[in-house]
């Protein structure tokens, strides 16, 4: 049996700053109450199982995966709503671009309604809007997609809680230790600051990291507004030995 050598802990990822992320339990977000582990997470260090991760190529993409305005069109017409391009750069904590990584996104329609069997909001479905897409970052770590602005929606948590407009993001990175799911919010939306999910993040500066900025330079006249949303994945420590872990 061939065994790959393992060079040790050097060149692993910086420890996750758990005070920057939301805690596992946030009482104002009630679903966390029974789903948050009570034991402290066990610090593992990182082994080959965490320093490697799946890779996906362009062959998995369908031609309209990055066009939510058209990728569920039933009758050839566009999805209803404010037309947007959402783009950004994926970097690591060392400010190095993360190229060739899969980004998946999903969202409600312009009325705030999801195409999901458990959705309970009375807002209308848009027959031409599915609500998901994906892209692979380019050599400089950039992704982009076309969509409509999602609506805010009510949800059963407190008596009258509303989610701010948001897009869900899933990012792989190049190691399973970098795996991340997060949400993108929109600049200037006052509803961010009443949202138990956004506010599960303790630090206001950290919440602001999830707010996409309106980008007037990349709007398309008479067509789409542009929002820029950069994402930062964990970065690797540098090593101080000549025989570096491969890929560092």
The rounded distance, in Å, linking the Cα atoms of 69 and 52 is 34
Kindly state whether residue 100 participates in binding another protein, applying the rule CB under 8 A: no
Kindly state whether residue 77 participates in binding another protein, applying the rule CB under 8 A: no
- Looking from the CA of 199 toward its CB, the CA atoms found within 13 Å total 15
Active-site annotation holds for 163: yes
Kindly state whether residue 94 participates in binding another protein, applying the rule CB under 8 A: yes
- 216, 240, 242, 243: which one contacts another protein (CB under 8 A)? 240
The rounded distance, in Å, linking the Cα atoms of 142 and 99 is 7
Kindly state whether residue 218 participates in binding another protein, applying the rule CB under 8 A: no
Q: How far is the CB of 217 from another protein (least distance, A)?
A: 23
Number of residues in contact with another protein under rule CB under 8 A: 98
Which structure tokens are listed for 155?
Answer: 């949800």
Active-site annotation holds for 217: no
87 vs 114, beta carbon nearer another protein: 114
Kindly state whether residue 58 participates in binding another protein, applying the rule CB under 8 A: no
Q: Do the Cβ atoms of 207 and 201 come closer than 8 Å?
A: yes
Residues in CB range of 238: below 8 A, 6 or more apart: 11, 248
Active-site annotation holds for 87: no
Kindly state whether residue 46 participates in binding another protein, applying the rule CB under 8 A: yes
Sequence-separated contacts (24+) of 20-25 with Cβ below 8 Å:
20/201, 20/203, 20/206, 21/201, 21/206, 22/200, 22/201, 22/202, 23/200, 23/202
Kindly state whether residue 207 participates in binding another protein, applying the rule CB under 8 A: yes
Active-site annotation holds for 153: yes
Q: Do the Cβ atoms of 182 and 210 come closer than 8 Å?
A: yes
Catalytic residue among 163, 174, 234, 236: 163
Kindly state whether residue 235 participates in binding another protein, applying the rule CB under 8 A: yes
Q: How far is CA 117 from CA 113, 166, 224, in A?
A: 11, 20, 30
Q: Which stretch binds another protein (CB under 8 A): 79-87, 136-144, 170-178, 211-219?
A: 170-178
60 vs 124, beta carbon nearer another protein: 60
102 vs 110, beta carbon nearer another protein: 102
Active-site annotation holds for 114: yes
Kindly state whether residue 170 participates in binding another protein, applying the rule CB under 8 A: yes
What residues are labeled active site? 114, 153, 163, 166, 168
């Amino acid at each position: 049996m061939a065994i790959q050598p393992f060079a040790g802990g050097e060149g692993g990822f910086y420890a996750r700053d758990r005070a920057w992320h939301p805690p596992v339990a946030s009482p104002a977000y009630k679903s966390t109450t029974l789903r948050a582990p009570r034991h402290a997470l066990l610090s593992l260090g990182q082994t080959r199982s965490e320093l490697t991760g799946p890779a996906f190529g362009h062959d998995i993409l369908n031609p309209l995966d990055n066009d939510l305005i058209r990728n569920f069109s039933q009758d050839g017409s566009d999805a209803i709503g404010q037309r947007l391009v959402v783009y950004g750069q994926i970097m690591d904590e060392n400010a190095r671009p993360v190229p060739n990584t899969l980004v998946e996104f999903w969202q409600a329609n312009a009325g705030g309604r999801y195409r999901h069997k458990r959705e309970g909001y009375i807002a209308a479905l848009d027959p031409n809007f599915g609500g998901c897409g994906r892209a692979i970052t380019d050599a400089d770590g950039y992704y982009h997609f076309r969509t409509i602005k999602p609506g805010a929606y009510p949800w059963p948590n407190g008596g009258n809680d509303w989610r701010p407009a948001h897009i869900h993001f899933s990012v792989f990175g190049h190691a399973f230790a970098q795996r991340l799911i997060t949400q993108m919010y929109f600049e200037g939306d006052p509803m961010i600051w009443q949202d138990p999910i956004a506010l599960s993040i303790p630090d206001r500066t950290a919440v602001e990291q999830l707010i996409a900025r309106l980008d007037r330079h990349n709007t398309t006249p008479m067509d789409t507004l542009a929002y820029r949303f950069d994402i930062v994945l964990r970065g690797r420590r540098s090593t101080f030995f000549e025989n570096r872990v491969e890929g560092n």
